[in-house]
Amino acid sequence: MTRQIILDTETTGLNAAGGDRLIEVAAVELLNRRPGAHFQRYVNPQRASHPDALRVHGLTEEFLADKPLFEQVADDLLEFVRGAEVIIHNAAFDLGFLDAELERIGRAPFTQHCASITDTLVLARTQFPGKFNSLDALCKRFGVDNTRRTLHGALLDAELLAEVYIWLTRGQDSLVIEADAATQGAAASPADLSGLALVRVAAAADELGAHERILGELQKSSSGGAVWPPSSETVA
């Protein structure tokens, strides 16, 4: 079974090296390209968000004050992604913050806890060079409904990116599974057509005559080589 993890983060700002911190991490599991479990944690960054970042995610210092520290959620996160291909949009940004948080608690970089990293921004730029390839732009391009995205949230963005990733890599239009789980993988039974009565409509005489004239013209223009010659086998 192929296991992939779509991951996204929210942060206090844009500069992990300059002390900005992770405040939310979320992930959506894909099992054979179908949705599985979700993972989501808020994190107390022990600092305020930059005003520009706060306008994007809306997660205030007061809201995050009673949330766990990153070291308290790290084991759950690493266990969730273990052994999977992790898919991130603009992966360098998220990995920069994840690695900085892991380094603070003496843990190995994020890439050492998962099988591989795939960057959907790189995929999008390859398919659509010179175009806008933000998550919102890709949702619009592929018809993925992102009307709930009034503020950025890691879990919602991961869910949207999962839909976008399917489009980028296969063109499947939705991750919604409508088939009953009990019948998934079962071979379809052949339809019983024994009771079906087919209506036969005979061509009228003038229709048959017109058909013969067209076949005659084809036979003449092909020097007698038509695949379907007139029924008379003669050409006037």
Write out the catalytic residue numbers: 152
| Cα–Cα distance measured from residue 111 to residue 85, given in angstroms and rounded to the nearest whole number | 10
Strand 22-31 with 34-42, pairing: antiparallel
Select from 39, 46, 52, 54 the least CA-distant residue to 21: 46
**Residue pointed to by tokens 């305020």:** 48
What does residue 129 show for φ and ψ, rounded to 5 degrees? -60, 140
| Cα–Cα distance measured from residue 173 to residue 110, given in angstroms and rounded to the nearest whole number | 31
